[in-house]
Structure 1
Amino acid sequence: MLTPPPGADARGAYLPELAGLVWPAPARPALRRGGRAGFAVVPSAARPRLLVPAGSRRAAAGAVRHSTEAQSAKARLRRAVLAAAFRTGLGRLAFRDRLVVDAGGDALDAHLAAVLGRPALLSIHIGPARANRKPVVQLLDAAGDPIGYAKLGVDPLTRALVEAEAAALARLAKLDLPGVQVAEALHHGVWGGHALLVQSALPVGLPRAAPAPAAEAERAAMVAVSRCVGVERRPYAGSAHDRRLRDELAALGDRPEAARLRAVLAEVRRVDPVLALGAWHGDWNGGNSAALADGRVLV
């Protein structure tokens, strides 16, 4: 089995587990130095943040460009420099660690090619340790353009999250969301005993709106999402949201923060404001949305 390199940080320690999930036995993932095969580990196997295809300059550059939604000017510059390095071949020389896979059995890339009806190159962003961490695989064509993203639910929590996201995308596909474009569910099923969702890539490379129109478009998009399945005006106490929060707080037991949160919820229930209760995204942030110059908001 793959073992973490000496001095590995938390993400480096997670790399063997991730490799085992994406390339299960009889596949044999291994770490090597240099070469064109497998995946370049950026910046290193001890501190992995991104796996990009080592054999294709364009795919590696595309994987970097579309790996995350950079929020600051510094982050965008750093991402552009790194993408340019891989496009010119310097990235392959600068980042020498490779994850090489002797594939066997039902490999994920072969399965994805079958369900999508086209081959796809894989790239994986390695996030920090958290309860909902799961493999999220970026799918690229030979030119480095994104095809979509595959998510694997590998334990009870992440399986539930993947299934809930698939259900939400299926429901949203049938609703009218003025000015809002959501990803399309390209495939939903099971692979290797894990829940698998493949969703389309949104056109994040299109020109963006200026700050003021972007803020206005984002607010309008939030309103559209909140109203997409109807709005109910009612007192807060006894609402579905109130009941759900009470159940979640009860599950926290006697932890100190739970007592403080229960006190806050009890005060809200005592005041009992009348609210408009609708739908919500749940994780609306700058990395999950983009306002385009043509007026659309990608969510």
Structure 2
Amino acid sequence: MTVEVAASTDPRTRTDGLGWVSRAVFGNERVALTVGGEPPAGHRALARYAVVPSLARARFLLPLGAPRATTASLLAYNALRPPKVRAVRAALGTLSRVGALQRGFPTLTVSVPAGEEPAELLLAERLAVALGGAPLHAACGVRPPDPNHKPTLQLFAADGRPRGYAKIGWNDATRALVAAESAALRALAEVTGVADHPATPRLLAQLDWAGQVVAVVEPLPSRVQGVPVTDRPRIAALLAVARRGRPAAPPRPLAGSPFLARLAAEAARAAGAAPSGARAVAAVAGLGRRYGRTTVEFGHWHGDWVPWNLGLHDGRLVAWDWEHSGQDVPLGFDLAHDAFQRAVVLRAEPARTAADAIDAQLDRYGDRLGLAPAQRRLVADAYLLEMWLRTWRLADGGAGWNAALHPALLDVIEKRDTG
């Protein structure tokens, strides 16, 4: 295997995924990054990473110097990954065990000026302090630059024990998502002993770091397995998430609800920022006109309830990625989201077909949520509007428009309003 040599090239100058991740994780200009060479004069090396498989096609930054941590970063939670990804990671894990990663791939050296406090300059060092002071070894996946993605550090002890996942919010959109998940996990820590409620990772730390918002979430159970994408919706779990152990709330009219007021306020902000926002204002008005007198139960929702955010451990459901969680939404939003995302993400169907999938899923399972036909239609139409407003919030925060949902989702909403 040939090792690329780029003796003094700082990857933060790159425009690809490696550059994007390097800037997010090693953003302080006093931190030196060198590939294939030694630290600059007057610096001391604090960490080394294998860039896998190459600088041009980087997919992983794997920590070197603690073989068990390196191997664990490749093999931990492989049961959650697709078979092809699992096979690649298993092969890399074998290379790690025999010490071949450092010989077979480019090495990125991270160093700081001698005499400088590492925890003031390096995020991984600061996280080690936040988690008790023991040294941590961080692995990071490398993805193409995307303003909606959050670099995530997998944190391990030297012996390979997982210590946590650190999500980095680096622009307005992702900072808001990381902060929202932190708040959600704090609230969920108080939800205990609720039958059918999924287990939820605890928030270990949240910190502001060099203009970023960073949340550290505890590791998932080591034997967690993914929920099959063909799995039927788990209605009891959805109800437990919505009610959090409380009795069913009395249905209330959509008109006058905090939910409708929030949609109206967000649509008004969208109208002031984007030409399409006026269409959202009209859509909220149409929703109130059609369903204002319809009563529905309001409650919490996970916000991104999809099979790839769910797992099973010892027979219990586990749910993660709560960054879109919220309250005071119509009961059934998670069920609608599950159908919509399966259609858009798994089957690459257009928004209009995904909206039909929502209707079909609500018709099939809605009675188990206590939803009559009129309430199902309210849930479906309100959810679609909620999703467009989420799309706008992300775009307004710097993440750019989701081409699969904008403007197609507004077209679908308007057609349902007049259909």
Q: TM-score, normalised to structure 1's length?
A: 0.80
The 1-side partners of 2:68 and 2:202 are apart by 25
The 1-side partners of 2:21 and 2:35 are apart by 10
Distance 1:259 1:206, change over 3 A: same
Matched ranges for 1:1-299 at <5 A: 3-4=10-11, 10-21=16-27, 24-32=28-36, 38-66=48-76, 70-94=80-104, 96-103=105-112, 104-105=116-117, 106=120, 107-117=122-132, 118-176=134-192, 177-179=194-196, 180-206=198-224, 215=232, 218-228=234-244, 231=249, 233-253=251-271, 258=277, 261-262=280-281, 264-272=283-291, 273-299=294-320
The 1-side partners of 2:78 and 2:172 are apart by 26
Of stretches 118-127 and 251-260 in structure 1, the one that deviates more from structure 2 is 251-260
Q: Which amino acid aligns with 2:306?
A: N
The 1-side partners of 2:235 and 2:100 are apart by 42
Partner of 2:340: none
Distance 1:247 1:76, change over 3 A: farther
SS in structure 1 opposite 2:17? helix
The 2-side partners of 1:69 and 1:225 are apart by 25
Offset at residue 290 of structure 1 (A): 0.5
Of stretches 241-250 and 254-263 in structure 1, the one that deviates more from structure 2 is 254-263
The 2-side partners of 1:188 and 1:44 are apart by 32
Larger relative contact order (C-alpha < 8 A, sep ≥ 6)?
Answer: 1
The 1-side partners of 2:71 and 2:137 are apart by 12
Decide which structure has greater helix share.
Answer: 2
Of stretches 162-171 and 202-211 in structure 1, the one that deviates more from structure 2 is 202-211
Of stretches 124-133 and 168-177 in structure 1, the one that deviates more from structure 2 is 124-133
Q: Which amino acid aligns with 1:139?
A: L
The 2-side partners of 1:69 and 1:287 are apart by 12
The 2-side partners of 1:156 and 1:170 are apart by 21
Deviations 1:150-180 (A, max 9, x none): 2333344333333222221111111234342
Residues 227 and 310, structure 2, Cα contact 8 Å, conserved in 1:
no
The 2-side partners of 1:13 and 1:67 are apart by 26
Distance 1:12 1:271, change over 3 A: same
Q: Which amino acid aligns with 2:299?
A: G
Distance 1:271 1:46, change over 3 A: same
Residues 195 and 240, structure 2, Cα contact 8 Å, conserved in 1:
yes
Structure with higher Rg: it is 2
Instruction: Mark the runs of 5 or more structure 1 residues left unpaired by the alignment.
Output: none
Residues 71 and 287, structure 1, Cα contact 8 Å, conserved in 2:
no
Q: Which amino acid aligns with 1:110?
A: E
Q: Which amino acid aligns with 2:289?
A: R
SS in structure 2 opposite 1:129? coil
The 1-side partners of 2:53 and 2:277 are apart by 39
Offset at residue 131 of structure 1 (A): 3.2
Residues 139 and 147, structure 1, Cα contact 8 Å, conserved in 2:
yes
SS in structure 1 opposite 2:56? coil
Identity %: 31
Residues 120 and 140, structure 1, Cα contact 8 Å, conserved in 2:
yes
**Matched residues, number:** 292
